[in-house]
Chains A and B, each alone.
Chain A
Amino acid sequence: DIVMTQSPLSLAVTPGEPASISCRSSQSLLYSNGYYYLDWYLQKPGQTPQLLIYLGSRRASGVPDRFSGSGSGTDFTLKISIVEAEDVGVYYCMQALQPPQTFGQGTKLEIK
């Protein structure tokens, strides 16, 4: 199984500042079509998870452009250019390359 490792596990950010979360996979997430099968999800407090980013860098429908995904091979990053109060919650990366799909441990983002 592919192991997903996130860092940091928690971070506190001042509104208006940027934030960055790292995700590392135990093997490359590159598929033969040239895409990286890495997703980012956000679970806001008391809510169900929502898809933010798929294929490593594509924003899901309705996701603000302050969220961006990047990376290649086994190293991926989610960046929030300007953190807003509504961005609090737990962020998960997930590899969609091969079953069983696996999630990272989650990164809890709090507002300072």
Chain B
Amino acid sequence: QVQLVESGGGLVKPGGSLRLSCAASGFTFSDHYMAWIRQASGKGLEWLSHIGSRGSPIYYVDSVKGRFTISRDNAQNSVFLQMTGLRAEDTAVYYCARGRKGAALPSWDSWGQGTLVSVSS
């Protein structure tokens, strides 16, 4: 069955960095776009970035552009989110999500359980 397992979250000071990882299994990873989507406590969903099945195209929401970098390793069935310049408002649960197979304008049909990122001094 499809599994997406995020890791790498934690407590970090403002201005700090974290690297999130998402390990995928149960499907052909290289057939799917992948995304990072976050949710602050008690708030709605915010799409952050997605990456094409072979590493492009890549898109970001403006609020993280220049600070966050998405990447993937198809040999390791993993997608990553490198986060720098973290701010208090980046505090949220970060989900990785799988795009529908073959869709270049993807819907997200499987989600991980999320990893919590807390930015505080």
Contact = CB atoms under 8 A, between A and B. Distances in A.
A83 to B, nearest CB: 22
Size bracket of the A interface: 20 to 34
Given A49-B37, A99-B50, 7 more contacts: A48-B113, A48-B114, A54-B100, A60-B107, A92-B45, A99-B61, A100-B61
A61 B46 CA distance: 23
Interface in B1-30: none
A78 B100 CA distance: 20
Nearest to A37: B105
B111 interface: yes
Interface of B: 35, 37, 44-47, 50, 59-62, 95, 100, 105-109, 111-114
B115 to A, nearest CB: 12
Which of B46, B50, B111, B113 is most buried by chain A, counting CB atoms within 10 A of its CB? B111
A86 to B, nearest CB: 18
Instruction: Give 7 closest A-B pairs by Cβ, nearest first.
Output: A99-B59, A54-B107, A101-B47, A100-B61, A48-B111, A103-B45, A39-B107
Contacts of A99: 50, 59-61
Contacts of A55: 107
A48 B117 CA distance: 16
Interface of A: 1, 31, 37, 39, 41, 43, 48-51, 54-55, 60-61, 90, 92, 94, 96-106
